[in-house]
Amino acid sequence: MAVVANHRPTKAIVSKGAIRHNIEEEMKRLPKDAQLWAVVKADAYGHGALEVAKVAKEAGATGYCVAYVDEGIALREAGFTEPILVLGVTEPMSTVVLAAKYHLSLAAPSVDWLERADLALKEVNESLTVHLAVDSGMGRIGFVYEEEMAEAKARMSEWTNIEVEGIFTHFATADELDESYFVTQQDRFQKALAILGEDYKYIHTCNTATALWHEAWHSNVVRFGVGIYGMNPSGSVLPLPYELQPAMRIESEIVYVKKQPKGRSVSYGATYTSQEEEYIATLPIGYADGWLRRYSGFSVLVDGQRAEIVGRVTMDQIMIRLPKYYPVGTKVTLIGKDGEEENTFTQAADYIGTINYELTSILGQRLERIYEED
């Protein structure tokens, strides 16, 4: 049972204004005939899918992308009527029927999948819209071989309960300096279009990175994901064409503070030992909230100053070394700005060797989300 910890001072604060800004800035760059669909899978990268979906719609998004049928159903049951595309592979029998009932569009990765899905739909007299997935080099799902593409094109009229409304691919290196593999994928997708045709309502290749650095190549739908949340998908490799505003900050408070003698250790494994008398404070957040053990040694912000996380991160608590005494109740910024200092998810990701949006996506459900207008 996931219980939100409302009665502790640790909060993830999400700015609706930042989300709105990021979407509106991207929409200014889109071709006139292009739409922006908000990618709200994984609970909107940890930001809260339903709240983000509302703001995205207000900002001009006309559809949504999710990973699984259940995420799409949650949007439908919350009252969203816009197009919803499920990007992952869906079980092509009973789950396809469920998707049809909720008017979700599905990714179609193969001829075999289309055959089985159409059979299941005929048995219950349901119809379904799909987008053909082309594997141009991502290696996850989709058509690879020209022979199967040709077979799919020849047999589309057989699948009478399926409407093919779209075709898409996903670029693996759109956020990198070296564009050679990106160009290879472009060439492969062009060849796929030559076989499967281009007479579809939606053609989309464009994730956030493609939108930012490749002018929404060959897309009348932009699948805008990490950009919504104000994070550079390249980390710090490529400069952004416009400002993305971080949509989330994480704040807590000191819940306990002590003067620790020289030679005393902190946390499991006694990996940190005080070299002198110092103030050690405890914060109520830990790896069960997604604040990973690897953050040991990373700094948080107290009164505009950096305070190092000392000892191992535990399940529910971390300890920090204060620059001077601060009382219980003092605000601590784990991610965000405090005075002249700032911690970003990109900095945190660089510290532990991962990407910024992995860190937001793994934040635990018990970490309370608070939504601000600005």
The Cα–Cα gap between 186 and 170 comes to 10
Domains present along the chain, CATH in parentheses: 16-229 (3.20.20.10), 248-343 (2.40.37.10)
- 248: annotated binding-site residue? no
Query: Which pLDDT score is estimated for 216?
Result: 84
- 312: annotated binding-site residue? no
Query: Which pLDDT score is estimated for 374?
Result: 78
Query: Which pLDDT score is estimated for 263?
Result: 97
- The lowest-confidence range among 120-129, 212-221, 342-351 is 212-221
Catalytic site includes residue 41? yes
Query: Which pLDDT score is estimated for 10?
Result: 98
The Cα–Cα gap between 321 and 306 comes to 9
The Cα–Cα gap between 175 and 210 comes to 7
Do the Cβ atoms of 312 and 265 come closer than 8 Å?
no
Percent of the chain with pLDDT over 70: 100
From the list 41, 64, 202, 295, the catalytic residue is: 41
Residue 275's alpha-carbon distances to 221, 262, 266, 318, 367, in angstroms, are 57, 5, 12, 19, 33
Q: Is residue 1 scored above 90 in pLDDT?
A: no
Q: What is the pLDDT of residues 58-107, one digit of tens each?
A: 999 999 999 999 999 999 999 999 999 999 999 999 899 999 999 999 99
From the list 256, 259, 262, 268, the catalytic residue is: 268
The Cα–Cα gap between 270 and 312 comes to 8
Compute the residue count for the chain. 374
Residue 216's alpha-carbon distances to 60, 159, 203, 211, 231, in angstroms, are 17, 31, 11, 4, 18
Q: What is the pLDDT of residues 5-61, one digit of tens each?
A: 999 999 999 999 999 999 999 999 998 899 999 999 999 999 999 999 999 999 999
Q: What angle do CA 231, 203, 168 make, to 5 degrees?
A: 70
Query: Which pLDDT score is estimated for 314?
Result: 98
Percent of the chain with pLDDT over 90: 97
Catalytic site includes residue 54? no
DSSP assignment letter at 225: -
Q: What is the pLDDT of residues 282-304, one digit of tens each?
A: 999 999 999 999 999 999 999 99
- Closest alpha carbon to 133 in 152, 118, 147, 120: 152
Give the ranges where the chain is alpha helix by DSSP (H). 16-29, 41-45, 49-59, 69-77, 94-101, 111-124, 146-155, 180-196, 208-213, 345-352, 356-361
Q: What is the pLDDT of residues 255-267, one digit of tens each?
A: 999 999 999 999 9
Average pLDDT over residues 107-132: 97
Query: Which pLDDT score is estimated for 183?
Result: 98
pLDDT band at 2 (very low <50, low <70, confident <90, very high): confident
